[in-house]
Amino acid sequence: MISVSHLTKEYGEKKAVDNISFEATKGEIVGYLGPNGAGKSTTLKMLVGLLQPTSGNISVAGYSAETELLELKQRVGYVPEEAQLYEHLTLVEHLQLMGRLYHLEEELIAHKIVQLAKLFDMEAQANQRISSFSQGMRQKCLIMAALLHNPDVLFLDEPFTNLDVTTVTFLKSLLQRLAELGKTILYCTHILEVAETLCPRIMIINEGKIIADAPVADLRQQTNQTALNEIFVQLTETTGLDEKTDEAVRIVMEDTPNA
Amino acid sequence: MLEKIAGLLGASPTQYTHLLQTEKIVEKRALKGKLAFNLSLIINCFFCFFVSIVVTVMVFLRIDVFTYTLIGITMSMTVVGLWTIPYFDILLSPTHYPVIAHTPVSSRTYFLVKLTKVITHTVLLIICSNLLPAIGGIWLRGEEVSKVKYIFPIVYLSIAFISSFFTIGVMTTFAGYLTKLYSKKSLRHIAQTAQFAFPVFFPTIWIMVHYIFPTSLTDSVIIDKLKIISKWSYILPTGWFAGTVSVFLGHLEWQNLILAALAVASTIFLILIPLRSIARSYSEYLSYLLEAVSKQKSELRVKTPLFAKMFRTHIKRAALYLTSAYLFRDKRIQVGLFAMLGTIAMFVIFFLHPELYRWWNPKWISNSYIFGLSPGFSIVFCYITIGFVDSFILPIRYSEHWKASWMLNIAPIPTKQDLWRGAQSTALLYIVTPCTLLMLCFAIILWKFEGIFYILPGLTIVLNYVLFYPRPPSGLPLSQEFILKRMVFSTLTPFLGTVLTVGTIVGIQYLTYKLGFWIYFGCYCFIVLGGLISFIYFFTRKPVEANLNA
């Protein structure tokens, strides 16, 4: 379903994504983890066609990003990291816009909007402008829009940010059910607990390179660690955390007049 | 020096300095290339300079200091009032407020930073509006300036500066107090559109000056009229500041003393009471603006909108509804449309007022040489419609929500042109159509059924203006970062281009009319049919782009 080979993205001298290759099959949920600035969001942006790769090949749902970008886009749902939305639109208008952009018929759009708004507890806000929404509501708005056109592949960049526990639980269950029905999901996150429970397979990217790609159980075995956060720290070679903390405490206290 | 003033006004000098510097850096970096900004500033200054020439010409009328100063200060306050409206938005926009809202920056400090920014933006315009009239005043022939005429420029310039700051202060107060009078829901809209009320107040005086504007510079009756009319201005701040200039020049008549006292008292009152009160509650005011202001509807309704069936492609339809929602909701578009409605209101006033009609002589609009040839009518039609189109289309290019255009980039859109066509369709449906129908009504009143021939040349220009208006580099509506000064510049190029086109077409029509009926008729058909065919061909033409590559 997703096939990436030798994908590279350069910004001048800096390689944000450095020659990565991976595949994800139908019905698979892949957790895509990495520290800040590791290249997670850049990878996702290239996969959905927002960024042009410097080199490498991308194929999603059987369509090449180079030659069949439109077909690829039609089959992809994307939740970006930041909830940038057209603030003057209402939720209904936003979903109508997205439905039209994905070539859905008006009747189908209307039907899906009503159903999705009910499921996401957004009925009361459906005709309110997005400018009045809380961050959580905006996030729901993005998720609904990503699901509206029944995509084969979902690219989710921190999708649970700002969401309440109930919604997160509902969404985790929804994503698992969608995966069972054959949707492929690439899930990008910092929240390791969610990745651990939701994603049977984990990919870790650091400084633009994939440094681990295996099921969670295999990673535990490889690193001799049980918790995913410890695995993550070990793989990303994050050392000297205690010293760093001591130094930070010292600086903070030094600047406090009462210290 | 600014820090000291800020300190005297109760702000924190250090915070004031750093915030002001940050604001400058942010703006400078946002502008990227300076060329656009400089050009727009030069054009604005040129306009102000032109206005100041008109004022300075009054020197030759043998009018007294008070009347001359009154006209100059009225013009200056009007120009400052109107031309600072875009910059005035700095005060009303809470864009950067969340960044500092939680820090211990006092409301007063932040208000002073914003006010300083508005003043620095307008100071060059004030100089351009007043420098020439100040120098010109040396040659005033009234008796009271003969002894102290060389002091005139200093006195005039100082008072003109104070009067301009007074204008900005009143506008700030006006918008500020609306926050207390109206509910949060409607506040933002009202506060931002109501800014026009104050500057429009001065054009009423300006109209009066137009009303008595001389047809001959040596006509003494007109000078007398000017003097009589100037008495009316005693009730307005323009008169108070003019009186102050007279007092400083030694013209110590009791009327002038009262006017000067009014000017001083009103300025002190403005600073001490309303501006101080607004400065104190400025943070609260910005918090209001950040809150939800739209009318909240709680029920879930999904309507199939008007015109939905008209557009067969989903993409054009999507863009139409996206941009039409912005047409009715975006404050920048609303403010622009509001200003254009003000222009139309001015035209109506000119037409309806019998005296103004006589003096202004708007017959040039209805003058017709032959069927379909009324240069004035074509110019007014194009000016009004293009003004409305510009008010809409520019904020559709440069938007505060430009970051949301990612969703247009990830969608499977075969050609970006369809999205821009949707935006153009909004302009055609909601702006060009009503304007054309309105002007058609006027044309029918003036020329009966022949009126349609007078509409067509202007219509072809307007249609092609919408069609060939420069697309954003990305080809997507609402996709360019909103930078006020860049917007001001961007509007000029297409507008000036169209002014030239309208002039050329009307000129060609007039020339062919002089050459003979059939030549005129052929030319008319060529312009109208050529324009319409060009519009239909290019509007419906399949795009060159075969595939959208992100």
DSSP sequence for B119-146: HHHHHHHHHHHHHHHHHHGGG---GGGT
For the CA atoms of B335, B337, B341, B346, the dihedral, rounded to the nearest 10 degrees, stands at 70
Nearest partner of B176 among B289, B70, B36, judged by Cα: B289
Strands (E), chain A: 2-11, 14-24, 29-33, 55-60, 63-64, 76-79, 153-157, 184-189, 201-206, 209-215
Number of neighbouring beta carbons within 10 Å of residue A109: 23
**Whether B296 and A132 lie within 8 Å, measured CB to CB:** yes
What is the least distance, in Å, from the CA of B423 to any CA of chain A? 13
pLDDT for B56: 87
Instruction: Please say if the pLDDT value at position B497 is more than 80.
Output: no
pLDDT for B218: 47
What backbone phi and psi angles, to 5 degrees, belong to A29? -110, 120
Nearest partner of B164 among B203, B130, B136, judged by Cα: B130
pLDDT for A259: 46
Q: B484 falls in which pLDDT band (50, 70, 90)?
A: low
Instruction: Provide mean pLDDT across the span A242-249.
Output: 85
Long-range contacts of B336-343 (CB under 8 A, 24+ apart): B336/B390, B336/B391, B336/B392, B336/B394, B336/B395, B337/B388, B337/B391, B337/B392, B338/B193, B338/B196, B339/B85, B339/B196, B339/B391, B340/B384, B340/B387, B340/B388, B340/B391, B342/B196, B342/B200, B343/B384, B343/B387
> Quick one: closest CA in B to A71, which residue?
B412
What is the least distance, in Å, from the CA of B187 to any CA of chain A? 14
Q: What angle (nearest 5°) sits at the alpha carbon of residue B513, between those of residues B512 and B518?
A: 80
Instruction: Provide mean pLDDT across the span B174-196.
Output: 58
Lay out the sheet containing A2-11: strands in order across.
Answer: A14-24, A2-11, A55-60, A63-64
Q: How far are the Cα atoms of B500, B530, B533 from residue B504, in angstroms, in the given order? A: 6, 15, 19
Instruction: Provide mean pLDDT across the span B85-114.
Output: 72
pLDDT tens for B5-58 read 888 777 888 888 888 888 777 777 766 555 555 666 677 778 788 888 888 888
Any idea what DSSP says for residue B211?
A: H
Nearest partner of A18 among A52, A51, A47, A43, judged by Cα: A43
CB contact B362 to A (< 8 Å): no
Instruction: Please say if the pLDDT value at position A137 is more than 90.
Output: yes
What backbone phi and psi angles, to 5 degrees, belong to B423? -65, -40
Burial tier of B254 (Cβ tally within 10 Å: 0-12, 13-18, 19+): exposed
**Whether B413 and A110 lie within 8 Å, measured CB to CB:** no
Nearest partner of B175 among B202, B201, B193, judged by Cα: B193
The residues facing A20 across adjacent strands are A7
Instruction: Please say if the pLDDT value at position B197 is more than 80.
Output: no
DSSP per-residue string spanning B461-475: HHHHHHHHSPPPTTS
Strands (E), B269-339: none
d(CA B210, CA B198): 19
Nearest partner of A54 among A3, A4, A10, A5, judged by Cα: A10
Does the model's pTM come out above 0.80?
no
Beta-strand pair A201-206/A29-33:
parallel
Lay out the sheet containing A184-189: strands in order across.
Answer: A76-79, A153-157, A184-189, A29-33, A201-206, A209-215
pLDDT tens for B366-396 read 777 788 888 888 888 888 888 888 888 888 8
d(CA A193, CA A230): 12
Instruction: Tell me how far apart the 2 most distant CA atoms of chain B are, in Å.
Output: 78
d(CA B168, CA B78): 11
Q: A151 falls in which pLDDT band (50, 70, 90)?
A: very high
Q: B548 falls in which pLDDT band (50, 70, 90)?
A: very low
Instruction: Please say if the pLDDT value at position B214 is more than 50.
Output: no
Instruction: Provide mean pLDDT across the span A233-245.
Output: 77
CB contact A52 to B (< 8 Å): yes
pLDDT tens for B328-365 read 888 778 777 877 776 676 666 666 555 556 655 656 66
**Burial readout B187-221 (b: 16 or more C-beta within 10 A, e: otherwise):** bbbbbbbebbebbbbbbebbbbbeebebeeeeeee
Find the length of chain B: 550
More confident position, B211 or B415: B415
Mean pLDDT lowest for which of B295-304, B387-396, B440-449? B295-304
For the CA atoms of A227, A230, A235, A238, the dihedral, rounded to the nearest 10 degrees, stands at 160
Phi-psi region of B515 (alpha: psi -120 to 50; beta: other; left: phi over 0): alpha
**Whether B304 and A106 lie within 8 Å, measured CB to CB:** yes
pLDDT for B193: 56
DSSP per-residue string spanning B40-97: HHHHHHHHHHHHHHHHHGGGGGT--HHHHHHHHHHHHHHHHHHHTHHHHHHHH--TTH
Contacts of A132 in chain B (CB under 8 A): 292-294, 296
HSE value, Cβ hemisphere, 13 Å, CA-based, for B379: 16
Q: B294 falls in which pLDDT band (50, 70, 90)?
A: very low
What backbone phi and psi angles, to 5 degrees, belong to B84? -90, -5
CB contact A108 to B (< 8 Å): no
Q: B288 falls in which pLDDT band (50, 70, 90)?
A: low
The residues facing B157 across adjacent strands are none
CB contact B403 to A (< 8 Å): yes
pLDDT for A149: 92
In sequence order, the 6+-apart residues with CB closer than 8 A to the CB of A101 are B314, B315, B318, B407, B408, B411, B412, B413
User: Are the C-beta atoms of residues B194 and B174 closer than 8 Å to each other?
Assistant: yes
Contacts of B314 in chain A (CB under 8 A): 100-104
Instruction: Please say if the pLDDT value at position B549 is more than 50.
Output: no
pLDDT for B347: 67
The residues facing A17 across adjacent strands are A9
pLDDT for B487: 62
pLDDT for A188: 92
Contacts of B408 in chain A (CB under 8 A): 101
Nearest partner of B479 among B420, B403, B391, B412, judged by Cα: B403
Contacts of B304 in chain A (CB under 8 A): 106, 110
Rounded to the nearest integer, the mean pLDDT of chain B is 77
pLDDT for B114: 82
Size of interface A-B (CB pairs under 8 A): 126
pLDDT tens for B455-474 read 998 899 899 989 988 888 88
> Quick one: closest CA in B to A46, which residue?
B550
Q: What angle (nearest 5°) sits at the alpha carbon of residue B270, between those of residues B266 and B275?
A: 175
CB contact B396 to A (< 8 Å): no
User: Are the C-beta atoms of residues A73 and B315 closer than 8 Å to each other?
Assistant: no
Instruction: Provide mean pLDDT across the span B87-104.
Output: 67
């060609």: which residue's tokens? B508
d(CA B476, CA B413): 11
| ipTM (interface pTM) | 0.78
Instruction: Please say if the pLDDT value at position A115 is more than 90.
Output: yes
Contacts of A130 in chain B (CB under 8 A): none
**Whether B321 and A87 lie within 8 Å, measured CB to CB:** no
CB contact A63 to B (< 8 Å): no
> Quick one: closest CA in B to A127, which residue?
B297
Mean pLDDT lowest for which of A92-101, B278-287, B480-489, B495-504? B480-489
Nearest partner of B512 among B491, B527, B493, B492, judged by Cα: B527
**Whether B321 and A96 lie within 8 Å, measured CB to CB:** yes
Instruction: Please say if the pLDDT value at position A11 is more than 70.
Output: yes
Q: Say whether A28 sits in a helix, a strand or coil.
A: coil
Instruction: Provide mean pLDDT across the span B296-314.
Output: 68
d(CA B30, CA A140): 31
Residue among B93, B288, B322 with most chain A CBs within 10 A, to mutate: B322
Nearest partner of A64 among A153, A4, A146, judged by Cα: A4
Contacts of A110 in chain B (CB under 8 A): 302, 304
More confident position, B153 or B192: B153
The residues facing A5 across adjacent strands are A57
Find the length of chain A: 259
Instruction: Please say if the pLDDT value at position A96 is more than 60.
Output: yes
d(CA B66, CA B142): 10
CB contact A129 to B (< 8 Å): yes
CB contact B548 to A (< 8 Å): yes
Contacts of A145 in chain B (CB under 8 A): 407
pLDDT for B437: 93
User: Are the C-beta atoms of residues B453 and B371 closer than 8 Å to each other?
Assistant: yes
d(CA B379, CA A185): 59
d(CA B241, CA B161): 10
CB contact A243 to B (< 8 Å): no
